[in-house]
Amino acid sequence: MFNNPLKLLYNISMKLTVLPEKTGLKKLKTSYTAAVVLDILRATTTITTALENGCRGVIPVSGVDEARQLAGSNPNLLLGGERSAVKVPGFHLGNSPLEYSAGTVRGKVVVLTTTNGTGAIKLAAQKAGTVLIGCLLNARAVAEKLLNFNGQILLLCAGTGGNFSLEDTLAAGWIIKEFLALKNIDQYSGTAAAELHRQADDVYNGVIMDDMAVACYRLALYYNNKTLDALYDSLHGQKLAQLNMYRDLIYCSKLNTSSIVPIYRDGIITI
Ligand code: MLT
């Protein structure tokens, strides 16, 4: 009857947790019903764009050699990815979402390797029943999808080199903001939540958040629609700007332009 342990403690059905960088996941014992992987600059934005533009699937791999071996000489496979934000020599595509146009990717499968993002996706699959791919482009679509789940939900920020990154946590916050709005919660407030606990009543329509999730939510409220400002504020955003990749920052900062939610299953990301 009580297959969800959270329900034993409070009258809640979902706990939203945000991990600010992927390596922290290895030591966690929790299993998650669903995880949303976020690498806004740029892996998960690129994957979402590729699939939106008719790509048949994206195979995330961790290493460059592994990617080359997998792709072999198959003409239907495109090799994509970066190291230090720059296209890997000999690959068809880098990691700019702008390269993944319909003319290039429609009907193709892409083998993708990136510094942080593709590894985060594979790691998430070890801990979560369902792995979704999120970014600012599909924040509302991801939030809508999360309505179908309960239990422990993880928003996994890829981060950069084992460190927190502003743009991924901002996207986690935006997904939470959209999710709470869908639950008719305009403003999350800890004080109101405590009062609901006291009354042993439903806590925010059955949702609780860890402190990092609350911080991300507040970050999204702070930047609000000025997501491009946040990307320029971020260290990786600065690096891309130095490499003259301004157009990528503008593109990756767009909110709710896509209604697709890519899913990673059996080694491949599809919609
Ligand atoms: C990553 O996976 O680290 C990123 O997507 C790097 C980038 O291409 O900007």
CATH code of the domain in which 230 resides: 3.90.1560.10
Q: What is the pLDDT of residue 125?
A: 97
Residue 269 to residue 271: CA distance in whole angstroms: 7
Task: Report the candidate in 201, 210, 212, 32 with the shortest Cα–Cα distance to residue 131.
Answer: 32
Residue 10 domain-assigned? yes
CA–centroid distance, 253 to ligand 1, in Å, is 15
Ligand 1 neighbourhood includes 82 CB (under 6 angstroms): yes
Residue 92 to residue 50: CA distance in whole angstroms: 14
Q: What is the pLDDT of residue 5?
A: 45
Residue to mutate, 21, 40, 41, 133, ligand 1, most ligand atoms under 8 Å from C-beta: 41
- Host domain of residue 153: 5-42+118-270
Ligand 1 neighbourhood includes 113 CB (under 6 angstroms): no
Residue 195 domain-assigned? yes
CA–centroid distance, 240 to ligand 1, in Å, is 10
Residue 48 domain-assigned? no
Residue 101 domain-assigned? no
Ligand 1 neighbourhood includes 258 CB (under 6 angstroms): no
Residue 53 to residue 91: CA distance in whole angstroms: 20
Residue 95 domain-assigned? no
Residue 179 domain-assigned? yes
In ligand 1, the atom with minimum distance to the C-alpha of 240 is 9
Strands 77-83 and 86-87: antiparallel
CA–centroid distance, 18 to ligand 1, in Å, is 19
Per-residue pLDDT of the chain (271 residues), as tens digits, is 334 444 444 456 889 999 999 988 988 888 999 999 999 999 999 999 999 999 999 999 999 999 999 988 888 899 999 999 999 999 999 999 999 999 999 999 999 999 999 999 999 999 999 999 999 999 999 999 999 999 999 999 999 989 999 999 999 999 999 999 998 877 777 766 666 665 655 556 678 889 999 999 999 999 999 999 999 999 999 999 999 999 999 999 999 999 999 999 999 999 9
Residue 22 domain-assigned? yes
Ligand 1 neighbourhood includes 134 CB (under 6 angstroms): no
Ligand 1 neighbourhood includes 234 CB (under 6 angstroms): no
CA–centroid distance, 29 to ligand 1, in Å, is 27
Residue 53 domain-assigned? no
CA–centroid distance, 74 to ligand 1, in Å, is 25
Residue 218 to residue 70: CA distance in whole angstroms: 42
Residue to mutate, 95, 100, 236, ligand 1, most ligand atoms under 8 Å from C-beta: 95
Beta strands in the chain (DSSP E): 14-19, 32-38, 57-60, 77-83, 86-87, 109-113, 128-134, 151-157, 207-209, 263-265, 268-270
* Number of domains making up the chain: 1
CA–centroid distance, 182 to ligand 1, in Å, is 30
Residue to mutate, 21, 42, 165, ligand 1, most ligand atoms under 8 Å from C-beta: 42
Does this model's pTM top 0.95?
Answer: no
Ligand 1 neighbourhood includes 115 CB (under 6 angstroms): yes
CA–centroid distance, 114 to ligand 1, in Å, is 5
